[in-house]
Structure 1
Amino acid sequence: MSGVQPERFRILAVDDELDTLKLYKEILCPAGNFRESESKLADLEDKLFGKRSPSPSGASFDLVLCRQGDEAVEAVRAANREGRPFAVAFIDVRMPPGRDGVATAEQIRALDPYVNIVIVTAYSDVDPSEIAIRVPPVDKLLYVQKPSVPEEIRQFATALGAKWQAEAMVRKANAELEARVKERTAELVKVNEQLKREIAEHKRTEEALQKTHDELEHRVEQRTTELARINEQLKLELTERKRAEEAKAKLQAQLQQAQKMEAMGTLAGGIAHDFNNILFAILGFAEMTRDDMPEGSLARANLEEVITAAKRARDLVQQMLTFSRQVDQERKPLQIHLIVKEVLKLLRASLPTTIEIRQNIQSQSSTILADPTQIHQVMMNLCTNAYYAMRERGGVLEVSLSEIDVDLDAEALPQHLDMKPGPYVKLTVSDTGPGMEPAVLERIFDPYFTTKGLGEGTGMGLAVVHGIVKGHGGGITVHSKLGQGTTFHVYLPRFESAVAPEARTAEPIPKGKEHILFVDDEEQLVRMAHQALKRLGYEVTVRTSSVEALEAFRAQPDKFDIVITDQTMPNMTGIGLAKELLRIRPDIPIILCTGFSEAITPERAKAMGIREFIMKPIVTSDIAKSIRRVLDMN
């Protein structure tokens, strides 16, 4: 077709012999589209070859001729600056007096890694393997033996030029693809950063986002190297973006759930404060009334039950605060069978009769070093989950407790538990419910995962159990099959030291005659405390306002021997009152009481000069001992 021009490639020919250069010109550039590196060479060419005349067919190549290696290197350097690099370079091996062809090829290769180099030589002693080492790569290095056949030269030029152009197109496509990938990666990174800011406090979520980011980077690297699968990889990228959006939606839901849990914790603190004040009054008045009843009377026994129930309510508030992570509990030697029996007794009273409870407590003396409230929580969560599985048709809830030694019974333990050798207590909770599918079983300990309906569960129960058990150095496994029920095995390290039984000898309640200033904004607590402290022999002044208490103390600071104040009060907190009292009289002993407060801790209270920090509700014997201890110390 006459309207189509052949593709032109830039060809560099380097040879010290003019005849050879003339041959290149006749073969590759009959239309005269070539450039000599120096004007002297051009003049000499005109004399030898005659003036150039345009070829009617048009030229296929732009040809540059050089007689020495230095000229060729400079021509390549200039071509790179102009943005018109060479596609093929024909280089003679021996070109006296300058550098030889191999050294020239080395320099050209350093300047242009993409040019195809053809070594032309008339000598048989040239070692191609040595040249291949000096002028890599081998796929861009060829050899032609002189004398050269014109058609062979043209075929080399045409084929290598087409190869160079194809590679250039591939590099361009690769660069465009890399730019597109970087642009999309930047967008995804922006999304990831936004997610990280929203859920910075949730480490597991942040790790999930990092994993997604890493997977995306891995796919980006694959796209830059696997050009043959560009279309498929773009589809994968779109799929990955969709997954990221789904992950974002899931994480937002988890964040909302976490915020609900945080709100529940705040609510628990507020409830605890008010409830502990109520329990303080109940315990105080009940103890005083009990002490007025004769020994062995029915009324006294009934009041003992009231006091016991109030103490159980106090422990329940403490457990609620622990669950909401507002109170830390220390671990202590604990006979676990006592907690197991206590939980089963509580469950028997609350579960329907369609649920049969069986217990098999083989060991009555197994001791662990644990937080009692957390172990109670483990039992409650496992047993209530078992009840939920059987609530429609009923069934059997079985709890057993035994001892096991990891060294002796290692074969009976799952390998993934990774527990340290030694003696353990094994707690087993099983049900005869419908069982679980393998897919559910794999995620059973994942946070926020639940099979319960909306509003029936948070998905945190078993995750909390798993965290508590692992935190105590133990392990937990679950076995379940459809139609065969579910069994949980909990392993907790045994504590070998013997637990001394608590002494139950009745100690006399210490009394005194000092003057106490008692401050609390709850009038009911003030009336109760006034009676209780008067019974202990003390002279008591009460105030329901911290401001009024401060005025009374300022008027007669030496009148009082000790001050007992509540923390949470209007106008001025207990801490504020304590600061003012100590400013007036630095040696005044102060006891701070609170139903619950995040603003003060025992350590902070003592650092401020407060002698004792007591959590409500307080039994009479405890407050009496604290008062006596502080006064005697002073």
Structure 2
Amino acid sequence: MTETDNLPLFKILVADDEPSTLAMYKGVLSPECIGENGLLELNALETELFGKYTSIFLPPSYELVMCSQADEVVDAVKASLKDNRPFAIAFLDVRMPPGPDGVWAAEHIRKLDKDVEIVIVTAFSDIDSKDISRRVPPAHKLLYIQKPFHPQEIRQFTSALCAKWRLERDLQVYRSNLEKQAQKRTLELSAVNRQLELEIAERRKSEERYRTLVELTSDWIWETDENLVITEADPKVKALLGYDPDEIVGRPLSCLISEDDAERTMVHVTSNRGPFRGFRSSKIHKDGRRLVIETSGMPVWDGSRIVGYRGLDTDVTAKVRAEKERQELEKKLARAEKMEAVGALAAGVAHDLNNIMTGIIGYPDLILKGILKDSPLRDLVTNIKKSGEKAAAIVDDLLTLSRRGVPVNEVVNINAVITEYLDSPECQKLRAFHPGVEVERYLDPLAPSISGSPIHIYKTVMNMVSNAAEAITGSGRVSISTRGRYIGEPLDVDEDMKAGDYSILEITDTGMGIPPEDISKIFEPFYTKKKMGRSGTGLGMAVVWGTVKDHNGHIEVKSIVGKGTTFTLYFPVAGPGASHDRSKA
């Protein structure tokens, strides 16, 4: 089998009333017309221009269908569509007596096939191209060649238009698949959203039940003199704080309050000239437990003078805990809604932006092949291509978020992924852009492997290192370390963190640090404090968060403004069901 056996077969429709012209088309578009010497010359020219040989000049295979009348053209297009083998290009002579002309045929072809590339061929200069463009839209799929023409023109037109036709068909399939995936993920996120709403509703019902129970329970009542020394204590203080009444009568009220809350509580009680409700403070149980107590009270008056205070203490520790849990659920719901919105946005971007990027990314390569190496247009065309690639990177980040939840079960050596990135062109480019930033690695060779996707772990490392470098102004240091650790008790990292063995990836920078009020926002989609146009889209850390969560991992962030930030990523080690490790260090 030769290389040409693997090339695509394009159907070409040629319509002309002159047999000699039809014979010329057949001779020009037959693969053997180029010849072995021609191929050698083209490949030598490619090597000279680009420094390598990629076989792009091997001739594609064409299936030619010849017609001499316009009605035959329409019948041929109908037959090709019925067989699901549409034409890529139709070369149409304008005048084909005695039947309808080529423009008539073009109109009917376009109604049948919106994708075929139509080339109007004429020996007459009096044709109205504007009228033809109006009758045979769209204009970008309608070209003109005037007779007489050189055979090389036909060959070049055919090669370029076939490549354009194939690229557009591939993009249609690609967009369709992206839309289906985005729609599927949007439905999944909607289901998660509904589930979280049900959980929140259930939590609120639970809070309401708890509130009812609290109202039915008997809280302890206390009374003090004007100096806040306890004079009376309800027996229920035993159940609440563990003291018998006689243990606290005669003692200052502050003896029951935590040291850091005592002064604030005393000021609040004594500053009120009337009733006060719902004041919260921390009180210490006899066994040392710290309780959140909600106090309601009022001054006791003797005429115009305050002679004491009377109040009611309610233990709201469980209520406060429930409120925190509800807030966490609401945060998860908000994050799910944002991710759902990103999924919907990804579908729209995949459909709309990819239409725009079709020309921005695809056509520059074709243009670069047709212009000289020293042409002043080459830099402009290259910039167009780079802009398209940046737009494609944004779409890729959006689609990474919209495709979250795809199961991965490959053993990944984190040290190998880090080493691969640090030796990559992306990292070299980052170092060149931040020459004052030193990147250090401290990789524990015994760090255990994890189960997941090496591509997503690579992107996580890339985003984290890039963010760390950009956080440094001037000179500084970015440190990357790995280690293994067994965690027996859950850390403060995540309430859902389970005990077990973890592979830990830690990235530390000596940059500007993150203000405490911003730490909770950095993983939100589109959140960024970078200057617009400098770098980043606000999606990098959202992608990191999504990747870590998809790997059942956890993220811990510690930062000091002006000194730097440390991100610690915890990944469960690979289980027995993971596939073979493809990335050994």
Which interval holds the TM-score relative to the shorter structure?
0.3 to 0.5
TM-score between the two structures when normalised by the length of structure 1: 0.32
TM-score between the two structures when normalised by the length of structure 2: 0.34
Q: Which structure has the bigger radius of gyration?
A: 1
More strand by share: 2
